[in-house]
Structure 1
Amino acid sequence: MRRYENRQLSWATSLCLTSPAVAVADACITKEKDVEKLIPWVFQYSDTAEEDCTMSWPEVEYKFRHFFDEVSSYCAELKGQESSGTGVASVLRASETVTLLTKNWKVSEREYFKHFIRWQGVMLGMLMKTIYFSLGIKTQDPNIQFALLGLKLKYVIGGKQFIARAEGAATVDGLPIISYTGWFRKQTWSEFLGETLSVMLGQLAKNLSMQTGGAGSREQEVFVIGFHGLYLHIARGLFTASMISRVHSKGCSENEVFELKFTQGYNLCSKKDWLEATRALSRLYRYLLSGKAKVGAIQAYMQRGPDTTDA
């Protein structure tokens, strides 16, 4: 058995940039009316959302108003800064060796940006909640709820416990199905990937807790969303059953490789990017609710069926 005596674990990661359709796997075909439901007032009259866009936003047009009050300020704060880049596309490399910390928030300089990171979590929560309620899928089982900031997710590699902290999540039965990650200025690409992977592993462990029976672990998908600079992205990881079992008990091999898939980056203050981002996120929701997703919380619900004890 390989032993890990220090507080860090290195893992080689294979990376690629994908289209939204690939990133959400075999998502159900979403009708354009989904996207039409998600067009905010500001993009009915402009191709960009400026920092003061909510000043003239009609009170009756409440959908996304509070979100754009936040995200337009976020975009304005980062606009023109070199660190804002063009999202993951600006720094993506074919492969990278990342380090997993026993506590993913224990990164140099991260504490200094904790309020900035929490701000992202608040925005992501507002965005995902508004999209969910706007699509008219709230009555569709399973019911999705939303966890608060600072969600701690424990996982084990080779008998050693790690803890990841997500900046919130969409959940089913209290288990995360889409977690939110944080980004901060001066964060290295390797640190960003370590953050993403650690949250994925924590979400995976939570969902594996729902697997029952003697068949062992099953292949699992993990989805997270987050910002990198100005740009929002969706990331997907696929964990095979053999990898789950082996890494949990024995740890990573010397040449362990795990593939992450990212969508392009979306600037949510651009109408064009907004339409593409909301199309991808609505498809992700519909895919998860279709019952086809390899996500433990969803699979357990579909096998169990709705709880009728209170009916």
Structure 2
Amino acid sequence: MTELTPEQMEHMATTLEGSGQYRILRPLAPRMLADYPQSSGTRLGMFLDLETTGLSAAKDEIIEFGIVPFVYTLEGRILGCLEPFSRLREPSCPIPPQITALTGITPEMVAGQSVTPEEVAGFVAPASLIIAHNADFDRKFAERFSPVFTTKPWACSMRDVDWAAEGYEGRKLSYLGMQAGFWFDGHRATDDCQAGIAILDRELPVSGRPALSVLLENARQVRCRIWAENAPYEYKDVLRQRGYRWNDGTDGNPRAWSISLPEGDVTAELAFLSAEVFARPVDLPVTRITPWDRFSTRC
């Protein structure tokens, strides 16, 4: 049987797509730039993904760094990607079997591999923005590894776009990629970064706006975290359904349910808590959050 050329395969895929009977997933094809076209209207972003030995930033360790720089306009258009930073790192403790099963990273792959905070800091220094898919996880690990990450504003590709309102069925990278029309090998850091950038490069199906534009708009907002200290236990489900998350206090913040909201929504939320949860006027702690502190242990 004669092997098909890429052009022939693409013609077949286009024909199937055009029939309306099939949906085609193409392999992720990153758009690469030879260099950074610096101008007053462009910025350098970096999409970061970490693979770790576990979920606790306090005790688990990074085993893979993936950082992909990309150039974008202030309006939220992505021009392309630059060469990535991709490094494995041998942890001080064995990689749990479930992590190897999830990531494909084996003890043999990381044996003797290292990366220093100085190397990472040097690569990240030019970035105007760091993006991660679930930045609440990645930022805490990253800041523990190198203080350079405390000096950068962060955004989250999972939370800073309302994917459900745009017709997407889930927020996982693999789901978003499939609905955007491509597939990729997930759970390796650089692949996840390239997928995240490609998703942000798409126009959203409902609003018609570039996904990165929406992310930037939301990430630039000043937000506040309300700490519902001493909320009655019987209201825990009400708070959870409203978007509150439990903090156990080990990070130095209050041991309480909390929620992050745009600054303009704080007064209404405090009124809700007083009327519906505490049944009395309450003076609750409120932390102001800038993009430089979002997703960190500082808030």
Q: Identify the structure with bigger relative contact order (alpha carbons < 8 Å, sequence gap 6+).
A: 1
Rg bigger for which structure? 2
TM-score, length basis structure 2: 0.25
TM-score, length basis structure 1: 0.24
